[in-house]
Amino acid sequence: MKKAVLLFGWMLSVIFHLGAQQRIVAECTITYSIVADSSVNEKDLTESLKESTKIVYIKGNNSRVDLISPAFIQSTFFDKTDGEAIVLREFGNNKFMSKLDNETWEKQNKKFEGLIISSSSETKTILGYECKKATLKLKDETIYNIFFASAIAPSVKEFEYQFKNVPGLVLEYDAQEVGGKRIHFSATKIDLSPVSASKFDIQLSKYRMLN
């Protein structure tokens, strides 16, 4: 009888442990709204952001981030396998492309190295996920206030270099630059359906290569 009780207790502990494990999401689409807070006084920027959107696509080791505004479209493709990225920019009929190898990608994101993550007891629910608050402080004093869902994490995280060591999926954040300017991003939709491979097809002939 004692052995049966011990076995039952062990099974419960295993089930609890498995249930508490973080889910790695290999396919998803996340849409974010973009808003400038009152500290941003530039009227043109504030009005532009009202119609701007950020969309993140995750598929295995690949990610795509679209920043869409009335003035421009920027798409950043990142491949975790080799650590390389491609950035597409569209300004009206003008289309440009930049390729970044792993060394260049890391150099471009060097400002995020050595950032300090401070946790908080504050939580909020975003799109059905309980999210924990944390503060990220960069060496240049830039502050990111974030809320992340610890129950899930994307299969590739380095595409948003500042969040690569956050233990979960960042669903809300604001970036406060030196001088007080701050832009707020908040997830408005998460779709865990498979992402079409066509999202990662690039028609190279349509873009002008930039060094």
Using pLDDT thresholds of 50, 70 and 90, give the confidence band for residue 204: confident
At 10, is the pLDDT very low, low, confident or very high (cuts 50, 70, 90)?
A: very low
Beta strands in the chain (DSSP E): 23-25, 27-36, 53-59, 62-68, 73-79, 84-91, 94-100, 116-126, 129-137, 143-149, 152-154, 169-176, 182-191, 208-210
pLDDT tens readout for residues 89-103: 999 899 999 999 999
Q: Would you state the structure tokens that stand for residue 51, as one six-digit string?
A: 């119609």
Fold that domain 22-210 belongs to in CATH: outer membrane lipoprotein receptor (LolB), chain A (2.50.20)
In this predicted model, what pLDDT tens digit does every residue of 38-96 receive, in sequence order? Answer: 555 555 554 556 679 999 999 999 999 999 998 899 999 999 999 999 999 999 899 99
pLDDT of residue 150: 96
Bridge partners, residue 96, by sequence: 89, 208
- Residue 2: pLDDT above 50? no
The domain spans of the chain are 22-210
Q: Give the predicted TM-score (pTM) of the model.
A: 0.84
